[in-house]
Structure 1
Amino acid sequence: MASTSKVPVSPHTNLNFSPTQLILTAARIWLSSLNLADTFKHSLELSSPLTSFSQVQEGIYLFNHDIDPYSGGSFRHSPLLLSLFATILPNSKRLASILWALNDLIAAYAMVQIFRARQNIGRSPRDTLVAALYILNPYILLPSLALSTSSIENTLILLSIMFACRKKTSASIFVLAFLGHLSLSSIVMVLPVLLLLIGNPLSSLASPKAIQSNLKRLAPLFGEFGLYFGFLTLASTLICGNWAWVSQTWGATLTLPDLTPTTGLWWYFFTEMFDHFRPFFLMVFNARHSVHLIIYVVPICLKFQYDPLYASFLLLGVLSLFKSYTTLSDPGLFLSMIAVFPEIHSYLRYPIVTALLHLHASLLMPLFDHLWLNQGTGNANFFYASTLVFACANGAALVDCLWAGLRIAIGPPAIDGYAIEQE
């Protein structure tokens, strides 16, 4: 599995920002001041029933009036998030917009630190590019402007990976446990992050080796994750006073009680399903969702045991493709992280085709959404067809990155059968 060798990674304490980075930061904060949440809050592509900020506000109102927010079957956010917004974090849309902007800046900072750890450097001219590809990525920016909590989940994923690169074990595992409470599907990231903790973030794609690791080191890490996860579960139960939140939050990812259209592949199937067939196909889809996500974890971690950071990256792509409730920010994180791995760029086979597929889908989804729900000249088939194109685009990006990660070990990329000479 992952390497146990200690690789010196430069300390990432340099907080000197370039003028371009300051302009980027100011631009993102300025966008938050426009208060665009009301404009985007009903967009099906930007938020889902599990990530909508409007539902957060509804849950806060019920919670503050001593009404169980999980009794009505509409609030599906984690009790941890509910308690934070009800006590510490601002819940007005204007202040929340600033909070989301800061959240994006933290995520961009974490991605830059991951890039630095990957290259084993303290600072790089590419830092601004890496940060810009996250902050200005439309798949990241628009859900953030809509105040989708998926943006917070992205930040937690990046922070957990960043702490793992720095070998800050407890911080990485605690953030990962917190993320698992917000989004149960993110549990698939546990194994690659733990392997990164006992390995190193440096690129080994060009020299893959079968690494014999002391797997006993994973046991205490899994134990620590279980301890944190259990503590957060107990805290969530104490906040709610009962266990009703489990079925309304974690259970929602498996039982699909809300059929609000999303960019995912589940909602349309169950919308068209006859009620008496629903239990059977729900069992089939649950097996597909749970097992299909988990089934990729061990093979990818085994194949890229010499590069656990790249394994984490690929599993983010799997997660963005097969989650039951997805938004644009899920594949947005995966696509932005391609900048962290410059060594694979020349090995991507069809980047233009993948980019065109994403462009095609990103234009079709809002168009068919408008035709269906606003103009009334379309139907659900229109929007679902665009989400199928979107799924193909995400799958093409994932397969291309997987192929590039494997191809880089064989040698220089080839054009028309001839290898490219590389200095």
Structure 2
Amino acid sequence: MIRNYIIIYFLGAMARFFLMNSSLISAVKNRVEVSTPLNSWLRVKEGVFLHGQGIPVYNGGVYHGTPLELAISELLIRSWSNYLHIIFIALDLITTTFLVLAASTYTIKLLTVQKQERKLYSTDADAILLKEADLRRGVFLVAAAFLFSPYSIVSCAALTTTTFTNLLLAATIYAMLKGYAFWFGASLALVTYQSFYPICLLVPGILEMGHSKKSVVKIFTSFLVTVYLLFFVSSEISGGWQFLTATYGFILSAPDLTPNIGLFWYFFTEMFEHFRLFFLATFQINAFVYVLPLATKLRKDPMLLSLALLALTAVFRSYPSLGDVGFYMSLLPVWKHLYLYLKQTFLVGCMLVSTSVLGPIMYNLWIFNGSANANFYFAVTLAFNTAQIFLVTDLLFAHVKRQYHLFNGSKLEVDGQPATLALE
């Protein structure tokens, strides 16, 4: 098994390295599906240049990353520019390691819960019980899914700052599953500072470690202290607090209507200005309004709750990118045991593949050829996001159905014979 991991790590690194050094990279790194005003490396370099010239970075509306990201990027560009490709590939490999560790920890938890609840299960639930070998394969597939996902590869190859965010997210999820309260709070503060929306992961973290009041206190303490330190350091780096408007204010108000794979740009291009604030609040609340109902239903499975929240924020954030989508999709093999209950796999798969291909085509027809318009491109992005919603809801329904069958039994038959759980 270790040999298999080494092979896929090597192949995943090589895929990224070859794309970074191929003629395709010039076309990939500027794609609106990959780079946004928040994660574009071109904007990072512009911010570093302005900072080096002593020009206020946040006054021009070009750079919208955090001051700490600016400081780290400046160090990388000025001192490690010849090794940027290797650094970004290494970050993706570290992210993969955290995902594998998190998936492994989660599978152990699933087996433990199954062992504890086995006496409560129906007598005919044997066919759908979890098997250690299947779960181990699921962990391996998590690594393969992230390393070979086209979404993750292009995001890394384009040197987007989503690579940093995904690393912090993976570390946060791992800390949550291991019960490391201080680590979880600190890493969640870092990833929230970086991209704002992951703050919703505070809820699954509390559910995971909420059995101990001490752990909850540790989470809030480390989170708040880390946020305070990050903001203090940021104010020192940027020379004031204007970065808040240029970063989080930019995320919330979404003034840049450059097309992307999200939903904001089209609606607010067409929106009357006097309706803008109302619909802006409506759109932004979509990323958080589902936290409470989902947490109520999935309170016993914070990891699945985390996946659902990551997927929803990838759809409803103001400036999403393919890197956000590739991250949460790489976790799906952890729930390999739910595939038997999925009903929309073919539909979702066809929608994701077709929209991933049609998106760049429609964009080029609209922007460069002038033979299409914004409606063509938005129709593709709308279908892409609809496919993600179908994927998440299908997975959640599959979880509910399996839980029902475990405790109430089921009569799964194929040609009159009892069905078995086929996970090969």
Q: 1:19 to 1:293 in 2, by over 3 A?
A: closer
Question: Are 2:65 and 1:77 aligned?
Answer: yes
Distance 2:326 2:339 in 1: 17
Q: Shift of residue 414 of structure 1?
A: 5.5
**1:144-163 deviation per Cα after TM superposition (whole angstroms, max 9, x unaligned):** 21122123212211111112
More helix per residue: 1 or 2? 2
2:51 to 51, 63, 68: 63
Question: Are 2:97 and 1:109 aligned?
Answer: yes
Q: Shift of residue 307 of structure 1?
A: 1.2
Question: Are 2:300 and 1:313 aligned?
Answer: no
Q: 1:390 to 1:22 in 2, by over 3 A?
A: closer
1:348 to 331, 334, 342: 342
Q: Shift of residue 168 of structure 1?
A: 2.5
2:86 to 98, 107, 110: 98
Q: 1:374 to 1:419 in 2, by over 3 A?
A: farther
> Residues 3-402 of structure 1 correspond to what in structure 2 (within 5 A)?
18-28=5-15, 30-31=17-18, 34=21, 37-88=25-76, 95-120=83-108, 124-196=136-208, 198=209, 213=211, 217-273=215-271, 277-289=272-284, 291-402=285-396
Distance 2:102 2:417 in 1: 31
Q: 1:255 to 1:422 in 2, by over 3 A?
A: same
Letter in 1 for 2:252: L
Distance 2:174 2:296 in 1: 21
Letter in 2 for 1:327: S
Q: 1:226 to 1:138 in 2, by over 3 A?
A: same
Aligned length: 392
Q: 1:379 to 1:415 in 2, by over 3 A?
A: farther
Q: 1:396 to 1:419 in 2, by over 3 A?
A: farther
Q: 1:227 to 1:404 in 2, by over 3 A?
A: same
Distance 1:143 1:93 in 2: 18
The runs of 5 or more residues in structure 2 that have no matched partner are 109-131
- Bigger drift between 26-35 and 255-264 goes to 26-35
**1:89-144 deviation per Cα after TM superposition (whole angstroms, max 9, x unaligned):** 66877632222211211111111111211222899455443211111111211122
Q: 1:413 to 1:96 in 2, by over 3 A?
A: farther
Q: 1:124 to 1:63 in 2, by over 3 A?
A: same
Q: Shift of residue 65 of structure 1?
A: 1.1
Q: Shift of residue 214 of structure 1?
A: 5.3
Contact 1:114-1:340 at 8 Å conserved across structures: no
Distance 1:223 1:296 in 2: 25
Q: Shift of residue 25 of structure 1?
A: 4.5
Q: Shift of residue 340 of structure 1?
A: 1.6
> What's 1:421 paired with?
419
Q: 1:408 to 1:129 in 2, by over 3 A?
A: same
Q: Shift of residue 16 of structure 1?
A: 7.2
The runs of 5 or more residues in structure 1 that have no matched partner are 1-13, 200-212
Contact 2:165-2:191 at 8 Å conserved across structures: yes
Q: 1:414 to 1:239 in 2, by over 3 A?
A: farther
SS of 2:38's equivalent in the other structure is coil
User: Could you state the TM-score of these two structures normalised by the residue count of structure 2?
Assistant: 0.85
Instruction: State the identity %.
Output: 28
Letter in 2 for 1:304: L
Q: Shift of residue 26 of structure 1?
A: 4.6
Distance 2:47 2:417 in 1: 59
Q: Shift of residue 272 of structure 1?
A: 2.2
Q: 1:420 to 1:187 in 2, by over 3 A?
A: farther
Q: Shift of residue 51 of structure 1?
A: 0.8
Q: Shift of residue 37 of structure 1?
A: 4.2
Distance 1:26 1:224 in 2: 34
Q: 1:414 to 1:318 in 2, by over 3 A?
A: farther
Question: RMSD value over aligned CA atoms?
Answer: 2.7
Q: 1:126 to 1:310 in 2, by over 3 A?
A: closer
